[in-house]
Amino acid sequence: MSKSVKRIVKNSFFQTFGAFGITGLNFVMMLSYARLLGPVDYGSLVTSQAQVLVWTLLVDLGLTSGLIGSLTSAEGGKTELARQGFRAFDLVLRVLVLRLAGAVVGATAIYFLARAQHEPGSALFWQDLAFTPHLFALGLQQTAIAFASYRHRQGYAVIANLIGMAVTVVLALWLAYRGESLAWLLLAQSWGGFLTSFLIFGYFGLHYFRRKRRGQSRRIERHPRGPWGISAWRALARDAWPYAIVFAVTVLWQRLDQIMATYLLGKESGGQYALAVRLVTIPVFVATSVSFALFPDLQRVGRDAPERVRLILGALGKLIYRYGILTVAALLALVGFGLVPLVPKFRPALELLPYFVPGIWAFWMHTFLVNALFGVRQYRAVVRAHLLSLLVYLPAVFCLPRFFDLYGVVASFNIFCFSLTFLTFRSAKHCGLLPASYSPFSAYTAAERDLWATLPATQGRKI
């Protein structure tokens, strides 16, 4: 097995393990909230949370993937002279400054919106503000995880993320069982990213000082006002702007449906939809985690051997087409039937789950298409697909719930997923990532069969 394939398998394992771990913790917290709070209070809590999470688009700014892209580009210089200005710490510091500035802007906007909607000092005013520290925690956490992924320490990043999540879940549930207000529950959930980033940066800091003490540090003498300062900002801007737009579109898709469900249909309907969509995140989170595990290596493959991206994408597309929809349906059926006796007040939420299956299947397809396009740096194609999908989604999420209630919200969710899959599939063919005659239901090619044969789980099996 090649070194890159081994790394992809290992990183995918860690990310999948972390995805299931975090999903499990979220599942426990969500189920406990549902049983303790009921649809109305649960809908109110999740809507206050969503109104903060919308502003994460100012914190992310595309810098998670942009940081990895700029680091791998700098690392890939062909000569030692070309790499003399490469300093990962400088890039990380710049990312942190940008993200914390975005968190300040987002927190300020949340404060003024809360003042406009509620009496300052009231319970609802503090409830809308309580989750705001998450913006600052997220900026630190995402930067730490991106740097760990670049350094091939995804396993440690996953463990640190799980620890931060576990501590906040335990604290939030303890407060919920004590009967504390929704504001205290939101505040308890907001700070886990601080702990995760402390563990990750602490690990690399300790490793650096140990190497420095042994005289093994290769850090180049700093010239903060030299040409590297300008090139660092340019490297981040070059690799971050498309991710910023894509993330902003994704955040609007993920949060507007919850906000519309609550404000158009009421808090109880918002609570029902909140439970349903959080159960849906189980298969969604698995796909995004595996995709994120592939991303650093796809960046390197796209830089050094773009033809390999075409092979990997073609094989993954056929695999998801064959088995994705059945896997999604099985996961949601297992979760839905298991929860019926546990949360009887949320039966309408569980009845929504089958209607999400086509959209999640399409989401799985588009996730890998998007990462492949990013891997070969076809930024404009990805941005265009996301913006067009958002234009299709916005009228749907504002109009369909008025006529079809919660089923209209689910329909708008699916419409966005299918629009994005269709547009990214066309872009992949246009950019040459997929053959013009490619079809996901066609048989595997000889090269694709050889690719599967390199994985331990498929050795000796006929594909």
* pLDDT in single tens digits along all 463 residues of the chain: 444 445 555 555 555 566 667 777 877 887 888 888 888 888 888 888 888 888 888 887 766 666 666 655 555 444 443 443 455 666 777 778 888 888 999 999 999 988 888 888 888 888 889 999 999 998 888 888 877 876 777 777 888 888 888 999 899 999 988 888 889 999 998 888 899 888 888 888 787 777 777 665 554 444 444 444 566 666 666 667 787 888 888 888 888 888 888 888 888 888 888 888 888 877 776 666 555 555 555 555 545 555 566 666 667 667 777 776 777 777 777 777 767 677 778 888 888 888 888 888 888 878 877 877 776 778 888 889 999 999 999 999 999 998 888 899 999 999 999 999 889 888 888 877 777 777 777 776 666 666 556 554 444 444 4
Q: Where are the domains of the chain?
A: 3-458
Query: In angstroms, what is the C-alpha Rg of the chain?
Result: 22
Tokens of 232: 């660092």
For 383-429, where are the E strands, in sequence order? none
| DSSP 8-state code for residue 223 | -
| DSSP 8-state code for residue 56 | G
Q: Output the pLDDT for position 390.
A: 93
**C-beta separation of 420 from 366 below 8 A:** yes
Give CA–CA dist 382/427, Å, rounded. 8
Q: Output the pLDDT for position 31.
A: 81
> What are the CA-CA distances from residue 201 to residues 30, 67, 110, 240, 346 (Å)?
30, 15, 29, 22, 41
Give CA–CA dist 79/96, Å, rounded. 29
**C-beta separation of 431 from 378 below 8 A:** yes
DSSP H stretches of helix in 214-266: 227-265
**C-beta separation of 65 from 238 below 8 A:** no
Q: Output the pLDDT for position 463.
A: 44
Would you call 100 helix, strand, or coil by DSSP? helix
* Cβ-based neighbours of 48, under 8 Å, separated by 6 or more: 127, 128, 130, 131, 182, 186
- Which position has the token pair 């789980």? 457
Q: Output the pLDDT for position 285.
A: 67
| DSSP 8-state code for residue 219 | P
